[in-house]
């Protein structure tokens, strides 16, 4: 009897060969499977199969850290699919622009199951490809919902003071901004009662 097995002395050569192979299996790294199924620790070659297995919807071949994070959060992400926030996140990943989903109960002209996608654009930025936004929304949306429109919404940066009215009661005059007025690119004075010497126009400090 060998010290490495429990085979009897009359064991056949085949049985002894099989026993030797079994010993090799017992020496295998049993934590390898658990380790390679963890997207935060696995080898780079296992990330793509894990993403396929967990139905990750967005993949960037140049973003290893992002791909691993999306694989790790895939179970939680699938629990939110169909919600407006999940749809916004996926469209934004596809087109590279921040978007806002407006559902039928948020806009008076919409009816169930319609929704609208608003794309925020900063001044000076090139507008996104509307067809690409529509394609992404159609691919990512809940099957029951219908995309009614894609709208481009410009982000307006702060602009100089907009003046609604002015009056003079003494040589120092204060120009008060009109509350809630739309910003304009330059200063506008709506009215002044009369001209006095050494009048100073002082904008109201916030």
Tokens 């806009």 — which residue? 107
Q: Is 107 exposed, middle or buried (0-12, 13-18, 19+ CB in 10 A)?
A: middle
Q: Is 70 helix (H, G, I), strand (E, B) or coil?
A: helix
Write down the domain spans for the chain. Answer: 33-77, 81-154, 158-206
* pLDDT value at residue 173: 43
- Crossing angle of the two packed helices 84-95 and 130-140, in degrees rounded to 10: 140
Q: Where residue 167 falls among pLDDT bands split at 50, 70, 90?
A: very low
Question: What's the confidence (pLDDT) of residue 174?
Answer: 46
Buried b or exposed e, range 120-150, using 16+ CB within 10 angstroms: ebeeeeeebeeeebbebbeebbeeebeebeb
DSSP label of 30: T
190, pLDDT greater than 70: no
Most confident residue range from 17-21, 72-76, 127-131? 72-76
Q: Which of 206, 172, 176, 205 is nearest to 189 (CA)?
A: 176
The pTM (predicted TM-score) of the whole model is 0.50
pLDDT at 29 over 60: yes
pLDDT of 156: 62
CATH among 3.10.450, 3.40.50, 1.10.3470, 3.30.300 for 81-154? 3.30.300
Whether the pLDDT of residue 206 is over 80: the answer is: no
Mean pLDDT score of the chain, rounded to an integer?
76
| Separation between Cα atoms, residue 69 and residue 173, nearest integer Å | 59
Q: How confident is the model at residue 193 (pLDDT cuts 50, 70, 90)?
A: very low
């Amino acid at each position: 009897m060998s010290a490495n097995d429990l085979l009897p002395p009359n064991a056949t050569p085949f049985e002894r060969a099989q026993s030797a192979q079994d010993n090799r299996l017992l020496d295998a790294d049993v934590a390898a499977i658990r380790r390679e199924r963890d997207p935060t620790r696995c080898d780079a070659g296992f990330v793509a199969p894990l993403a396929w297995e967990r139905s990750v919807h967005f993949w960037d071949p140049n973003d290893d850290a992002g791909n691993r994070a999306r694989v790790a959060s895939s179970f939680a992400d699938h629990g939110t699919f169909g919600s407006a926030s999940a749809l916004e996140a996926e469209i934004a990943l596809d087109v590279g622009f921040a978007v806002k989903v407006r559902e039928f109960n948020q806009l008076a002209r919409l009816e169930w199951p319609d929704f609208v996608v608003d794309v925020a654009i900063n001044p000076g930025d090139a507008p996104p490809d509307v067809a690409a936004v529509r394609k992404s929304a159609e691919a990512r949306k809940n099957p029951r919902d219908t995309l009614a429109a894609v709208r481009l919404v410009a982000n307006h940066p702060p602009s100089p003071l907009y003046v609604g009215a002015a009056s003079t009661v003494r040589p120092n005059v204060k120009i008060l901004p009109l509350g809630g007025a739309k910003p304009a690119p330059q200063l506008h004075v709506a009215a002044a009662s009369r001209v006095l010497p050494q009048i100073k126009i002082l904008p109201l400090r916030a």
